[in-house]
Amino acid sequence: MRKLLSCVLGISLVIHANIALAEQSSMFKDVPDHFWGQEYIERAIQHKIVEGYPDGTFKPDAKVSQSEFIAMLIRSYQTSDFSSSQKSQNWAEPYLSYVHKLGWTELQPSEQAALNRGNVARYLANAAGKNFTVDDSIQYLLDIGIAKGKTERSLQGFNKNEPVTRTEALAFIERLKYRFDELKSIPKTTEKYNSDLAQKDVYTIPEQKISIQFPQQWKNKYEVVTATNTDVKNKSYNFIDKSNKKYGGTLFTLTVWPKEVWSSEGPELMKNIHIYKIGERDNVVFTINTPTDVQYAAEDLALKTEYLNLSNDIQEKGIDFIID
């Protein structure tokens, strides 16, 4: 443990992780240990976002209604101004009233009908404060990494007319929470989404199948230095402000962990240091950290300003991590 801590103790994060990893095998008899959504399900159970069924099943591929999805979304954020104790014969009424207060789009005439993936995309965009059409909502989520698509990363590959499953709903919501800290209200009129992806500076790490989208101001201002920790078999990518390199210059560190290492050591690490998990794929987990000490020329106003401007993009979640 000491060796593991030594590789990250000098680092802190701008965002506190709030998701603990499950330490046990699957808690439901219809969720195999290696099911793609097992950890999404177990984390949702731990945080009381959803429940299983009395017969010991979860029904991971069951369809989700509009009311059920909205309830999952609101529960996941634990908003202080929401109460489910309103007197109503309909259990979903408090949740529907809350999204009505936020001005979210009323999508389906039947709140119990199966919700399709396109309408899920629109609700997720609403939660991010955007009033887009279904297609624009899908493209927006693809651009910022909340959605990957069902068959490919494209509007067509998203399969918007297919019903969303319980597991897919939880995965969407967890990715939204990585990106946004609170549920937002939306403008009264529908907006046009103009993708600014072409204006992004994109850094791709092919070996890890991850792309990082930076605001345009990052272009030509950073370099990446890699480091491998053989003790815990993780690999780090240090993003450094080139102008401040002689002073350290580290803006943030992306670390790729073997899932089994993170599963056993991650919860303890999160108790001792600030570390933010941005996602996972197959057998690896991705985290980011920012330095705790000064990494720029404090006496040089121009260098200090450049570093702090870039650093602010991290704090404001202006950087998107796209895990393929």
Count the domains in the chain: 2
The whole-number pLDDT of residue 110 equals: 61
In a domain, 5, yes or no: no
pLDDT value at 288 more than 50: yes
In a domain, 42, yes or no: yes
217 and 306 belong to one structural domain: yes
Compute the mean pLDDT over every residue in the chain, rounded to the nearest whole number: 86
Centre a 10 Å sphere on the Cβ of residue 49 and count the other Cβ atoms it contains.
Answer: 22
Between strands 222-229 and 250-258, the pairing is unpaired
169 and 231 belong to one structural domain: no
Of 151, 179, 207, which residue sits at a domain end? 179
154 and 272 belong to one structural domain: no
pLDDT value at 10 more than 60: no
Beta strand extents in 60-199 (DSSP E only): none
Whole-model pTM: value is 0.69
DSSP run (H or E) holding 221: none
249 and 117 belong to one structural domain: no
pLDDT value at 131 more than 80: yes
143 and 211 belong to one structural domain: no
Closest CA to 49 of 23, 25, 18, 24: 18
Summarize the confidence of residues 88-97 as an average pLDDT: 87
The CA–CA distances, whole Å, from 9 to 5, 191, 230, 258, 318 equal 6, 44, 17, 19, 25
In a domain, 184, yes or no: no
The whole-number pLDDT of residue 8 equals: 44
Summarize the confidence of residues 140-166 as an average pLDDT: 91
84 and 111 belong to one structural domain: yes
pLDDT tens for 36-73 read 999 899 999 999 999 999 999 999 999 999 999 999 99
DSSP letter assigned to residue 210: E
236 and 282 belong to one structural domain: yes
In a domain, 32, yes or no: no
In a domain, 190, yes or no: no
156 and 206 belong to one structural domain: no
**Given pLDDT bands bounded at 50, 70 and 90, which one contains residue 111?**
low
171 and 255 belong to one structural domain: no
289 and 226 belong to one structural domain: yes
pLDDT tens for 251-280 read 999 999 999 999 888 888 878 777 888 889
Of 145, 179, 213, which residue sits at a domain end? 179
d(C-alpha 90, C-alpha 210), whole Å: 43
Higher pLDDT, 28 or 266: 28
Structural domain including 256 reads 197-323
Centre a 10 Å sphere on the Cβ of residue 86 and count the other Cβ atoms it contains.
Answer: 12
